[in-house]
Chain A
Amino acid sequence: MKLALRHGFVLAVCAFALFPIVFVVSAAINPRGTLASTELLPTGASLANFANLFGSDTYPFARWFFNSVFIALVSSFASLLLSMLAAYAFSRMRFAGRRAGLLALLLIQMFPQFLAIVTIFMIFTEVTELYPAFGFNTVWGLLLLYLGGALGVNTWLMKGFLDTVPKELDEAATVDGATHAQIFWRVIMPLVTPILAVTALLAFIGTMSEFLMANVFLRDPGSKTLAVGMYGMIAGDHRNANFGMFAAGTLLTAIPTVGVFLWLQKYIVSGLTAGAVKG
C-alpha cells in the first residue's frame, strides 16, 4: 500500500515533468506546424518541420547548431581547466590571501556579469576596432567573455571535492620526488573525474542556454548560437507560423545535452553531492 502511494506520487510528478516535452514533440512532428494547430497528442506525423529547418535560407540552423556546440564545448573545457587549477591551489596550498580570495570569488560571482552589459558593450566596441578577430560577431570574443566567469562557483564546487581527496596521496608523491605540477596532472586529475564531469555538464548546459550576452554579441545570422537564432525565429509576427520548426529545433538542441549527460552519467550523482558536502 505504502509502495503504491510512492508510485502514484512519482508518476504524477513524471506527468508534470513530461507533458511540456510531449507537447514539443507533438508540435515538432505535426505537419501543419503552427502554434494554433498544436495539441498534446499529434494529429499527424511527418518530418516536414525538420526538413524545413535544415532547408531554410532565412534560418541557417545547422550553422547555429555547430556554433552552439563548439562554443559550449570549448568554453566548458577551458573553464574546467581554469577552475580546477585554482581549486587545487585553494585546497592544497596555504598562502597569504587565501581566505580573502575564496570570499572574494564568492562575492564577485554574485554580481551577475550581464548587469555590466553596458560597459561590456563599450569595452568590446573598442576591442572590435582594434582586434576584429575577437570583437562582435565572433565566437572568440564571446568565449573570452564566458571565461571571465570561469572561476567562482565552479572553483568552490571543485575545492569542496578536492578537500575530500586524502592529502596523504600528494604527500607520498612529494616524498617520491614529484613536483607540484606532476602531482596535479598525475595524482589529482585522475581522482577528480566525478566533479569534472559535473562541472562540465553544468557549464555545458549553462552555455547552451545563455541568451543575453550572445544576443548582444552575435548579430550576423551566420554567427548566431541556437539560443539567439531560435529566439529570432519566433519573435514578433513569426511566432505562430514557425512554431513547428521551433519545436523541432528545441528537440535537436536537447540532443547534445542529453549526449553529454549520458556520457558523464555514472559520475554525476556522486560528483554533485561530494562537492556540495564541503561547500
Chain B
Amino acid sequence: MAVDVREAARAESTPPARPRREITTAFVVSRIAVLAVTAAILLYAVPPLAAAGSWAALTLLCAAAAAVAFLYLTRRFVPAKYLVPGTIFLLAFQVFPVVYTATTAFTNFGDGHRGTKAEAVTAIETGSVRQAPGSPEYALTPALRGDELVFLLVDPKTKQVSLGDPAGLTPLAGAELGLTGKVVSAPGLTVLKGPEAAARAQDISAFAVPTPGGLIKANGLSRAVEGRAALAYDASCDCVRGPDGTWTADEEQGYFVNARGEHLAQGWQVNVGLANFARALTDPTISGYFLGVLGWNVVFALASVLGTFALGMGVALALHHPRMRGTRFYRIALILPYAMPAFAMLLVWRDLFNRDFGLVNQLLGTHVDWLGEPGTARLGVILVNLWLGFPYMFLVTTGALQAIPRELTEAAAIDGATPWRAFRRVTLPLLLVALTPLLISSFAFNFNNFNAIALTTEGGPFPAASPQVGATDLLITYTFRLAFGAGGAQFGFAAAISVFIFAIVALISAVAFRRTRRQEEVYA
C-alpha cells in the first residue's frame, strides 16, 4: 500500500543497491520507546474496559496497538510512520463523532427518545409506581454492606426487621432497634447516621427493593413504602397495560400509542430513515426558516471575508510605500485587535451596542437599539466581525505584498498605467494567487462562526411570531438551539441539519478550490 520513497525511486531507475543502514543507538532507543508507550497505554486502558465488558472496544484497542507496534518496528511503510499519530486523533475525535452524528440524523434521538426500548419500558414501569393501597409504611434505615447500599426496613406493627437489596427482601436477625423505631446497629453492616444518609440522598432515592407485587422505595430518608406499577409491559402483545387502557408499541415512532393516538411520554430510539431530512426540506415553517437562515448565512460569510480582506488590504497597501513613516507604530496598533481574546471582545462589543449605556450611542449621540432591530443587528455583527478579522488579512497581505517585486508595478507605471490600473492588473491578481486559499478557508470558518453570533446577539432579535429563529441566526446557531434549546432536545433533527450544513460548505469550498487549481497546481 504505502511505498517507501527510495524504494519507489529504485523501482524506476534501479540505482546501485542502497547501502544497508547500520543499527544506531537512536534506532534502538526509539523502538524501545514506541513499545514502552504502547504497553503503557494497554496497561492503563485495558482493565476498565475489561471490567465494563466492552469486548468490541477492547478488541479494537488491542488491534490498534498491535498495528502501531508493528508499524514502528518494521522499516517499511515510511509515510505511514509520519501520518499515523495525527490520524489516530483525527479518527477518534473528529471522524468518529461526525460519522456518529450522521447516523444520528436517521434516528429520532432526542428528549423522550434517549435510550433503548427496554430502558423505556423500565422507565415507564418505575415511573408509574404508586403506593399500594393498604401496604405498610416501613421505618427506613440506610446501611452499607461493604461499599454497597442496602435498606434496613422495620415493619411498624410486627417490629420485624428485614434487609432489602436489589435481589429482594430477606428477614434479618440480631438487629438492635432504637427508640424511634429505626435500626441502631446490625451485625456485619454499617448503619448510616443522619448526615451520612443525607449525603447519599440521591443514591437512596434511586434505590429500589423488588417485592413480589411491586417495589419498595424510599419516601424521604426515614420512611419507605411499597408501591405497585400502574403500568406494566406485556411482551405477548408488545404493549403496556394500565388502568386507563392499553398502549401498543409503534416501532415507526418509537412510542407506545393508545387507540386515541396519544402516546406515553417515554419513548425509545428508532430509525426514522429520511424523515428528518424530509422535515427540514418540506415542513413549511422550517424550510422557510431554513432558506432564510441559509441566505443570511451566505451574506454574513461573504461580507465578513470581503470586508476584512478589503480593509486589511487597504491599510496594507497604504503602508506599503517607501516614504511612509511610522509603519512600526501603525502595525502594532492595527494588529492589537487580533491579540485581544476574541470571546471577551465579542462580549464587549455587545455592550458597546447597548441602547442605554452603550458607547456607540454615546459617541454618536443617538438612541438606537442596535442589536434589537433586524437590520441594525445584522449590520452590527458584520461590523464586529470586521473589527475582529481585518488584522489577520492585514498581516497576510503585508507579507504577500513583500513577495511581489516592485519592478512589476514600476514597469506598469512606466508603460503609462494609472496607479489604479496597475493595482487592478498587476498587484491584485498576484495577491489573489497567494491569498485565495486563505480566503476560502476564511469563508468556511465564517460560514460556521458560532462565537461571533452566539456571544453578541445570541441569534436575536427574534420576531414575536416565531421565537425559533432570529434575524442574525446562522445555520450553526440555529442547529445548536434545535439540539439543546428550550423546546426539548431534537438531536436527530439537529444532526440532519448538520449534515446539510456540511454538504453546503463542502460544495462551496470544492467549487472554489477547483477555481484555484486553475491558477496554480495545489497538489504540487
* A123: Cβ under 8 A from any B Cβ: yes
Q: Using C-beta atoms within 8 Å of the partner chain, give the interface range for chain A.
A: 35 or more
A35 vs B455: C-alpha distance when bound (angstroms): 17
- A6 is contacted by which of B98, B321, B342 (Cβ under 8 Å)? B321
Are B311 and A111 interface neighbours, CB within 8 A? no
A111 vs B105: C-alpha distance when bound (angstroms): 15
* B1: Cβ under 8 A from any A Cβ: yes
* B195: Cβ under 8 A from any A Cβ: no
A115 vs B321: C-alpha distance when bound (angstroms): 45
B115 shortest CB reach to chain A, Å: 11
A17 vs B26: C-alpha distance when bound (angstroms): 51
Inter-chain contacts of A113 with B (CB < 8 A):
93-94, 97
Are A35 and B357 interface neighbours, CB within 8 A? yes
* A230: Cβ under 8 A from any B Cβ: yes
* Interface-centre pick from A95, A108, A258 (highest chain B CB count, 10 A): A95
A269 shortest CB reach to chain B, Å: 4
Inter-chain contacts of B323 with A (CB < 8 A):
3
Inter-chain contacts of B186 with A (CB < 8 A):
none
Inter-chain contacts of B169 with A (CB < 8 A):
none
- A21 is contacted by which of B21, B336, B351 (Cβ under 8 Å)? B336
A95 vs B32: C-alpha distance when bound (angstroms): 27
- B3 is contacted by which of A24, A95, A150, A155 (Cβ under 8 Å)? A95
- Of the candidate stretches B62-70, B152-160, B225-233, B501-509, the one touching chain A is B501-509
A188 vs B267: C-alpha distance when bound (angstroms): 58
Are A108 and B339 interface neighbours, CB within 8 A? no
* A52: Cβ under 8 A from any B Cβ: no
Are B319 and A10 interface neighbours, CB within 8 A? yes
* A211: Cβ under 8 A from any B Cβ: yes
* B414: Cβ under 8 A from any A Cβ: no
- Of the candidate stretches A42-50, A53-61, A83-91, the one touching chain B is A83-91
Inter-chain contacts of B3 with A (CB < 8 A):
94-96
* Residue of chain A at shortest CB distance from B5: A93
- B21 is contacted by which of A106, A179, A230, A276 (Cβ under 8 Å)? A179
* A99: Cβ under 8 A from any B Cβ: yes
Per-position 1/0 for B374-395, Cβ under 8 A of A: 0000000000000100110001
Docked complex: B406-446 residues within 8 A CB-CB of A? 433-435, 437-438, 441, 444
* A227: Cβ under 8 A from any B Cβ: yes
Are A86 and B83 interface neighbours, CB within 8 A? yes
* B104: Cβ under 8 A from any A Cβ: yes
Inter-chain contacts of A177 with B (CB < 8 A):
19, 21
Q: Using C-beta atoms within 8 Å of the partner chain, give the interface range for chain B.
A: 35 or more
Are B101 and A272 interface neighbours, CB within 8 A? no
A226 vs B86: C-alpha distance when bound (angstroms): 27
Docked complex: A154-186 residues within 8 A CB-CB of B? 155-156, 160, 163, 174, 177, 179-182, 184
Inter-chain contacts of B465 with A (CB < 8 A):
none
- A130 is contacted by which of B1, B49, B396, B448 (Cβ under 8 Å)? B49
Inter-chain contacts of B435 with A (CB < 8 A):
276
- Of the candidate stretches B123-131, B283-291, B516-524, the one touching chain A is B516-524
- B483 is contacted by which of A112, A118, A234, A270 (Cβ under 8 Å)? A118
Are B26 and A181 interface neighbours, CB within 8 A? yes
Are B522 and A279 interface neighbours, CB within 8 A? yes
* Residue of chain A at shortest CB distance from B501: A115
Are A21 and B8 interface neighbours, CB within 8 A? no
Are A246 and B344 interface neighbours, CB within 8 A? yes
* Residue of chain A at shortest CB distance from B334: A17
* B205: Cβ under 8 A from any A Cβ: no
Are B101 and A14 interface neighbours, CB within 8 A? no
Inter-chain contacts of B78 with A (CB < 8 A):
89, 93, 180
* Interface-centre pick from A17, A85, A268 (highest chain B CB count, 10 A): A17
Known: A110-B509, A227-B343. Is A14-B89 also a contact (CB below 8 A)? no
A3 vs B21: C-alpha distance when bound (angstroms): 63
- B334 is contacted by which of A6, A14, A93, A112 (Cβ under 8 Å)? A14
Are A209 and B354 interface neighbours, CB within 8 A? no
Are B341 and A250 interface neighbours, CB within 8 A? yes
Are A145 and B93 interface neighbours, CB within 8 A? yes
- A115 is contacted by which of B333, B347, B479 (Cβ under 8 Å)? B479
Known: A20-B352, A116-B97. Is A150-B86 also a contact (CB below 8 A)? yes
* A136: Cβ under 8 A from any B Cβ: no
Are B344 and A279 interface neighbours, CB within 8 A? no
* B95: Cβ under 8 A from any A Cβ: yes
Inter-chain contacts of A118 with B (CB < 8 A):
101, 104, 483, 491, 494-495
* A208: Cβ under 8 A from any B Cβ: yes
* Residue of chain A at shortest CB distance from B44: A131
- Of the candidate stretches B213-221, B235-243, B397-405, the one touching chain A is B397-405
Are B403 and A273 interface neighbours, CB within 8 A? yes
Are A116 and B26 interface neighbours, CB within 8 A? no
Are B79 and A93 interface neighbours, CB within 8 A? yes
- B387 is contacted by which of A17, A101, A117, A130 (Cβ under 8 Å)? A17
Are A269 and B402 interface neighbours, CB within 8 A? yes
Inter-chain contacts of B143 with A (CB < 8 A):
none
Are A253 and B341 interface neighbours, CB within 8 A? yes
* B209: Cβ under 8 A from any A Cβ: no
Docked complex: B327-341 residues within 8 A CB-CB of A? 330, 333-341
Are B97 and A23 interface neighbours, CB within 8 A? no
Are A85 and B86 interface neighbours, CB within 8 A? yes
Are A101 and B83 interface neighbours, CB within 8 A? yes
* B30: Cβ under 8 A from any A Cβ: yes
Are A112 and B448 interface neighbours, CB within 8 A? yes
* A191: Cβ under 8 A from any B Cβ: no
A182 vs B30: C-alpha distance when bound (angstroms): 12
Are A18 and B333 interface neighbours, CB within 8 A? yes
Are B90 and A110 interface neighbours, CB within 8 A? no
- A148 is contacted by which of B1, B89, B104, B513 (Cβ under 8 Å)? B89
Known: A3-B321, A10-B318, A112-B448. Is A16-B387 also a contact (CB below 8 A)? yes
Inter-chain contacts of B1 with A (CB < 8 A):
95-97
A207 shortest CB reach to chain B, Å: 11
Inter-chain contacts of B444 with A (CB < 8 A):
109-110
A6 vs B327: C-alpha distance when bound (angstroms): 11
Inter-chain contacts of B396 with A (CB < 8 A):
272-273, 276
Inter-chain contacts of B340 with A (CB < 8 A):
21, 24, 250, 254, 257
Are B349 and A131 interface neighbours, CB within 8 A? no
Inter-chain contacts of B450 with A (CB < 8 A):
112, 114, 212
* A1: Cβ under 8 A from any B Cβ: no
* Residue of chain B at shortest CB distance from A118: B491
Inter-chain contacts of A33 with B (CB < 8 A):
none
Are B523 and A99 interface neighbours, CB within 8 A? yes
Counting from the closest, the 8 A-B pairs by CB-CB distance are A148-B93, A273-B399, A116-B97, A89-B82, A82-B86, A250-B344, A119-B100, A148-B94
6 contacts between A and B (CB under 8 A): A3-B324, A39-B359, A94-B5, A123-B97, A209-B451, A269-B402
